[in-house]
Structure 1
Amino acid sequence: MTATHTAAQRIAGFTANLKAESLPEEVKDAAVLHVLDTLGCGLAASALGEASYVVSGADEGAGNGPATGIGVAHGLPAAEAAFVNGVLCHALDFDDTHPDSVTHVSVAVTPAALAAGEAAGADGATVLAALVAGNEVSTRIGAAAGGLFHARGLHPSGVCGVFGATAAAARARGLDAATTAHALGIAGSMASGLLEFLADGADTKRLHPGWAAQAGITAARLAAHGATGPATVFEGRRGFYATYLAGIDVDLGAGLADLGERWNTPAIAYKPYPACHYTHAPVDALAELLREHPVRPEEVTRLVAFTDKTGVDLVLEPAGDKVRPRTPYDAKFSLPYCLASLLVRGSVEVASFTAEAITDEAVLAVTPRVGYETREYSPRPDAFGGGVRVETTDGRTFEAQLRYQRGGMENPMTEDDVRGKYRANAGLALDAEAVRELEDAVTTLGERPGLGFLAAVRS
């Protein structure tokens, strides 16, 4: 980044000029697999009636348009479709996360890229470039601050995701670099997302990526029609980092130095469980121990979870809220509940987080036995490492831990794993033939003349 170019201008130049044919094959393959995973999560949420208010709200006042909303029978305006899909795809908390930025990337970028692409009549290659641009922008803006947004009570998936969504929307509709820079500047005034949902398990977290996707579409549209945004939206004295992280120096320039040379898209981690990423490594560690040392719930006197400080704040404290989750979404942020579910039921799955499931007294009898210890697993800001110790009534102690959570680059899920997850999720909403056809269309996105295949996700 030269002295004559601001961060927004550097990002905009990269975004406007990115072409699918110039992308490494592993980047393209990762991008489409994340789209597949994201749509599967949204279809499962729709089938289970999660966040149904977003679909009924779209039916009430959105009107008709060229874009597709999951579970909405008619076409929607692009911004409304992006909002619906962003909310639904995040509703189960089963969607991907980029560890370094602690950002749910695809649930803002994918809805924005697809809706903007449908509205613009873009071909698949253009949308593929838009997806990668959005991924690279979201992850770098978030990674520059690591876990600091969480410490301030901000949700990076919303406050950083809006910039990735804006980049994706701008690329999908073919905006030039100067206009894209204005769109990013506009998006800075739309960045939002508070973590206060943790206080009572409210629905607001799932709204954050939907709003980011909608705002990204809107910012790109306003810029296309002549609205301007500050060129120094990131580094300015009253800019994004200075206001959201006041008093902390953030160096975004370092993350942009290799933009277009090093790719973050393959580093975005998939989720094997529909719960907060900080629950995953301890749950996998417990699963490993139970395979090696089968014990019944009544034989366990104590479970001690291992996680870092951010994990404690998200999934272990305040302890009173975590031992008896108040809502299904609350349970997704309760490590005691997730560990107890695995111990009692043998699984942590979509069905573990229903209104009925979270009142299961057999599970709730175990949650008070869960304690924790803080440990650091990686020099990276967040790698979601964790583990568990099991203490039994006959004095035995078993311990296991994962330095990196399953689903990330260091401990990956295979492509077959991700496709299997998609098929299970999508199969809740679509018949087998439609599941296969959508999978084929998404994974060959770069070769598609358009996005007509998205009609399959309408109700």
Structure 2
Amino acid sequence: MILKIYSSDASSCVWGRPDLRLPPTYAAFVNGVAVHSMDFDDTWHPATHPSGPVLPVLLALSEVLPQNPKVSGLDLLLAFNVGIEVQGRLMRFSKEASDIPKRFHPPKVVGTLGSAAAAAKFLGLDQTKCREAMAIAVSYAGAPMANAATQTKPLHVGNAARHGLEAAFLALLGLQGNQKILDIEAGFGAFYSNYTPQALPALESYTLLLDHQDIATKRFPAHLGTHWVADAAASVRKYLLPTDKIKRIVLRIPDVKYVNRPFPVSEHEARHSFQFIACTMLLDGGISVQSFHKSQVDRPQIRELLDKVVLEYPPDNHPNFDTLYCEMSITLENGNTFTERCDTFYGHWRKPLNREDLEEKFRANSSTVLPSEAVEGIIKTVNRLEDLEDCSLLTTFLKGPSKKTSNCIQHVLSNHSLS
């Protein structure tokens, strides 16, 4: 099997590019970068982006694995859940990981191991090979937070996908690592100052983290912490008249240095700026993908408002996605002050997006590169994924428009089993 995957004929699609195919590891890389390109992917607690390192790997593999027997949607779901579960367990072995990260970007740490675990499950590796895959993956893990808010940050998710898959392949080929690497300070403990691994319970008493998963879905493409700011600003804006002149804007938020960007100069910095999100919501009444275009970031009206923002750090406002809040106070030139607070934004796991809004977000993003029938095909397929006999069907939709693909899409949409 591994020789077939590594052969020159083995290739997987690049989403939205029907004429471009790459070896599975590189397809996983490119698609992983795409997932995180706008910082629009899901966020978990403790903080990481769990899906981006895992899903591109499984879809790339689904195209190159032997089709007899076919890999089902249920197989994909199981491997996906394994990849997410591994990430969550590793982060819960560290108190440091429960807060917004300061040193390492989590998707390139736990995401790499989640990718390796998902690939190992999908490839059917035995227990020994799974341990080897995880050991190898640790040597691929890690990326510094200094590259947050730059064009390089999406590479962290792409590399987590690629390197996790590569680790599983190398384990399958016989490469060996330290099988105790997850249990020692000199191993995975190098990424967390207070890493304390624990023995997992017996399978019959095992409680999945996914049974009470804390997944947040973003309504606009920016750092998750800014979503509290956006909702607080939207509440304050209701008091303002078009003729009002703002004198001062106070944001009471956690002290998260890499999201403190008083005057962002690029779209990536704007996505990681408490100040920019507050001012954009006050000025426009909403935030979208277009809000981060350079022309919007450089607007004189935004720059004028940014100059009036002051950050305060209440001691009870910890940098933790489960407990943080944003309180915003606006003082007008006439002396009036309005204050609003957001404890839970719409899209947080305590206040999740409804299905209609979730599907609308997907349509808005995917319709820029995929035809509408492919978009609807993906939605229908995902909603019935556990009944899908061949999970590679998803890549038929994702690769983008072509005559052959269009015919296949029409066939699926007319199939009653997915209606």
Q: TM-score, normalised by structure 1?
A: 0.78
Kept in 2, the 8 Å contact 1:64–1:75? The answer is: no
Tell me what 1:194 maps to. Answer: 144
State whether residues 130 and 172 of structure 1, in contact with CA within 8 Å, keep that contact through their aligned partners in structure 2: yes
Shift of 1:168: 1.0
* Matching residue within 372, 380, 394 for 1:453: 394
1:432 aligns with 2:379: no
1:111 and 1:213 in contact (8 A); partners too: yes
| Residue deviations 1:256-314 (CA, integer Å, cap 9, x gap) | 789841333732211112100111101111112223x13348522121112223xx312
Where does residue 6 of structure 1 map in the other structure? none
- Give the root-mean-square deviation of aligned CA atoms: 2.4
Which among 214, 218, 225 is matched to residue 271 of structure 1? Answer: 218
- Between Structure 1 and Structure 2, whose CA radius of gyration is higher? 2
Alignment equivalent of 1:143, drawn from 85, 89, 92: 92
Partner of 1:83: 29
In structure 2, stretches of 5+ residues that fail to align are: 1-6, 401-419
Q: Normalising to structure 2: TM-score of the pair?
A: 0.85
The 5 A counterparts of 1:401-440 are 401-440=341-380
User: What code does the residue aligned with 1:205 have?
Assistant: K
The residue that corresponds to 2:293 in the other structure is 354
Selected match of 2:73 from 124, 133, 147: 124
| Displacement after TM superposition at 1:251 (Å) | 2.3
Q: Structure 2 vs 1, CA of residues 373 and 380 (structure 1 numbering), >3 Å: closer, same or farther?
A: closer
Which moved further from structure 2: 425-434 or 257-266? Answer: 257-266
Decide which moves more: 248-257 or 111-120.
248-257
Aligned to 2:414: none
Counterpart AA for 1:119: V
Distance 1:104 1:192 in 2: 14
Aligned length: 384
1:52 corresponds to which residue? none
| DSSP-derived class of the 1:227 partner | coil
- Match for 1:103 among 48, 62, 69? 48
Q: Distance in 1 between matches of 2:294 and 2:8?
A: 32
Q: Distance in 1 between matches of 2:339 and 2:64?
A: 53
- Partner SS for 2:216: coil
Cα distance in 1, alignment partners of residues 22 and 281 from structure 2: 40
Task: Read off the aligned partner of 2:13 and give its amino acid letter.
Answer: T
Q: Which residue of 2 aligns with 1:209?
A: 157
CA distances 1:312-357 after superposition (whole Å, capped 9, x unpaired): 31211xxxxx232121111101111111111112221100111222
Alpha-carbon distance change, 448 to 376 in structure 1, aligned in 2, over 3 angstroms:
farther
Q: Structure 2: which amino acid aligns with 1:303?
A: I
Kept in 1, the 8 Å contact 2:185–2:195? The answer is no
* 1:223 correspondence with 2:171: yes
| CA distance in 1: counterparts of 2:370 and 2:129, whole angstroms | 39
**How far 1:226 moved relative to its partner?**
1.1
Kindly provide the amino acid, as one letter, of the partner of residue 209 in structure 1.
V
In structure 2, what is the equivalent of residue 370 of structure 1?
309
Name the structure, 1 or 2, with higher relative contact order (CA <8 Å, separation 6+).
Answer: 1
Alpha-carbon offset, residue 415 of structure 1:
2.0
Match of 2:408 in 1: none
Tell me the percent identity.
28
Shift of 1:254: 7.0
Equivalent AA in structure 1 for residue 137 of structure 2: A
What is the CA-CA distance between 1:381 and the residue it aligns to? 4.1
Change (3 A) 1:305 1:264: farther
2:40 corresponds to:
94
Secondary structure class of the residue paired with 1:136: helix
1:314 pairs with 2:264:
no
The partner residue of 2:104 within 154, 163, 178 is 154
User: Which residue in 1 is equivalent to 2:279?
Assistant: 340
- Answering whether residue 331 of structure 2 is matched by residue 391 of structure 1, we say yes
